[in-house]
Amino acid sequence: MKNLKKHAMIGVRTYDSTKNPEFVVAEIMQDNPGLFEYHYKINAEGDSEVLLEELGRKRNFLIKGGAIDTDRTARIILKEWQSGKIRK
């Protein structure tokens, strides 16, 4: 798990090839408290599931049945993190 986070953070694994992007986002959130919440203007209180749900709803990333596509949302967060759009 640590390698997944490290590889995603330094761009060895791109956002589209990362396995379990939701877990990687959760790990990065633990290391950078409040960073994603501030960037996306979402009050998630450090909970990655809340962040993914709210951001997915905000961006209208829905799958069948009206559920939020958390995989797609997590990949967008990783993409923006790796590209430098989200800064410390």
Any domain includes 88: no
68 strand-pairing partners: 62
| Segments forming the whole domain that contains residue 6 | 2-83
pLDDT tens per residue across span 12-32: 567 788 888 898 899 889 989
Instruction: Provide the token pair at 59.
Output: 């961006």
CATH of the domain at 56: 1.10.1580.10
pLDDT tens per residue across span 78-87: 999 888 898 8
Query: According to the model, what pLDDT value does residue 84 have?
Result: 87
- Count of domains in the chain? 1
Most confident of 7-16, 17-26, 35-44: 35-44
The whole model's pTM is what?
A: 0.84
Distance CA(61)–CA(1), nearest Å, equals 26
pLDDT for residue 5 is more than 90: no
